[in-house]
Amino acid sequence: MRTPVALAPMAGGVGTPALAAAVTRAGGLGSLGGAYLTPQALRDAIREVRALTDGPLLVNLFAPQTVPAVTPDAIALATAELAPFHDALRLSPPTLPERVQEDFGAQLDVVLEERPEVLSVAFGPVPPDALAALRARGILTVGTATSLSEALALHESGVDAITVQGGAAGGHRGGWQEDALADTLTLAREVARATPLPVLAAGGLMTADDVRSAQNAGATLAQCGTVFLMADEAGTSVPYRHALQDGRRGTVLTRAYSGRAARGLRTTFTDAVHHPLPFPHQNALTRPLRTAGAQARQADVLSLWAGTGYRQAQATGAAQIVASLTPGN
């Protein structure tokens, strides 16, 4: 790598193979958010990046979750809140699908076969058997912490590096203590002091000065997501780009779309939903609405994940954005 910048993995369509390859080619660490991809789609995406660059690649998955039981009453409440949005888009009434998440084991098998240089995991520690298998293949492992205690637990678990995610970050809270909203630089400093592991700092890093500050706090890399949301190579949809450019919405922490706390632009949907099902049920429940909303260009039903720095996202090529994040350029 020629610059201390990692592209934050962004599942759900924003992070494309073209974006990953462009960041790697520009000297950073490109990444793929693979959590919502089927094993075949994940394999295809990794191969697409490999066809575009022989530089390093990070793949990100969600740690396997115990799927919580949900009561018929909770389902009725959650579907009732969605119903008016379905009606407005002339969709059939919302129903909970049987399959609510991808199979982590099958995704991991693809990673072991395709061998990206790095696998990072969010929402929990890397399972011990996965860690051993990854190590045996020479794939570096990164855990995600939103607090010092999570970082210490990840260090204990034997990962090679830790992403520390501050409260300004766009997208889901990546640890397992969803209410931990640290200042990015403070948390990076604490974790860099408390563990010998390399730290990737994430959350609100939008400029070369921010990247330099993260390095001064002890981070090895800055992991940047929001600054790339408007990149030419990003998969960000047209209504999503317009909402970002508009700049008036502000961000909120919401469980409305997925059942898990995430930061995104405020929408009429985030205002209207008060009884989401727990993750990953709500994510599966809202998927048809989000798909239809993207087709109909209705930004207000989309999960417009964005960090607090979104007004500084740059509508240009990814290589240009990497250059703008590189200290001393």
Ligand X SMILES: Cc1cc2nc3c(=O)[nH]c(=O)nc-3n(C[C@H](O)[C@H](O)[C@H](O)COP(=O)(O)O)c2cc1C
**Closer CB to ligand X, residue 28 or residue 94?**
28
Write down the least CB distance from residue 89 to ligand X, Å. 22
**Closer CB to ligand X, residue 8 or residue 94?**
8
Write down the least CB distance from residue 171 to ligand X, Å. 3
Write down the least CB distance from residue 133 to ligand X, Å. 20
**Closer CB to ligand X, residue 94 or residue 171?**
171
**Closer CB to ligand X, residue 94 or residue 280?**
280
Task: Give the Å distances, CA to CA, from 328 to 23, 164, 219, 325.
Answer: 18, 24, 17, 9
**Closer CB to ligand X, residue 94 or residue 145?**
145
Compute the half-sphere exposure of residue 98: CA atoms within 13 Å on the CB side of its CA: 0
What is the C-alpha to C-alpha distance for residues 32 and 26, in angstroms, rounded to an integer?
A: 16
Write down the least CB distance from residue 76 to ligand X, Å. 30
Handedness of CA 271, 277, 278, 283 (dihedral sign): negative
**Closer CB to ligand X, residue 192 or residue 224?**
224
Write down the least CB distance from residue 105 to ligand X, Å. 18
What is the C-alpha to C-alpha distance for residues 33 and 65, in angstroms, rounded to an integer?
A: 17
Mapped onto helix, strand or coil, the DSSP state of residue 15 is coil
**Closer CB to ligand X, residue 124 or residue 170?**
170
Residues in touch with ligand X (CB under 6 A): 8-12, 14, 33, 35, 60, 122, 144, 165, 168-172, 174, 202-205, 223-227, 305-307, 309
> Residue 164: exposed, middle, or buried by beta-carbon count in 10 A (0-12, 13-18, 19+)?
buried
What is the C-alpha to C-alpha distance for residues 8 and 2, in angstroms, rounded to an integer?
A: 17
Nearest 10 degrees: Cα torsion 164, 122, 223, 116: 130
Q: What residue is closest to ligand X based on CB?
A: 225
Write down the least CB distance from residue 308 to ligand X, Å. 7
Write down the least CB distance from residue 211 to ligand X, Å. 11
Other C-beta atoms lying within 10 Å of the C-beta of residue 248? 8
- Nearest CA among 323, 194, 315 for reference residue 246: 315
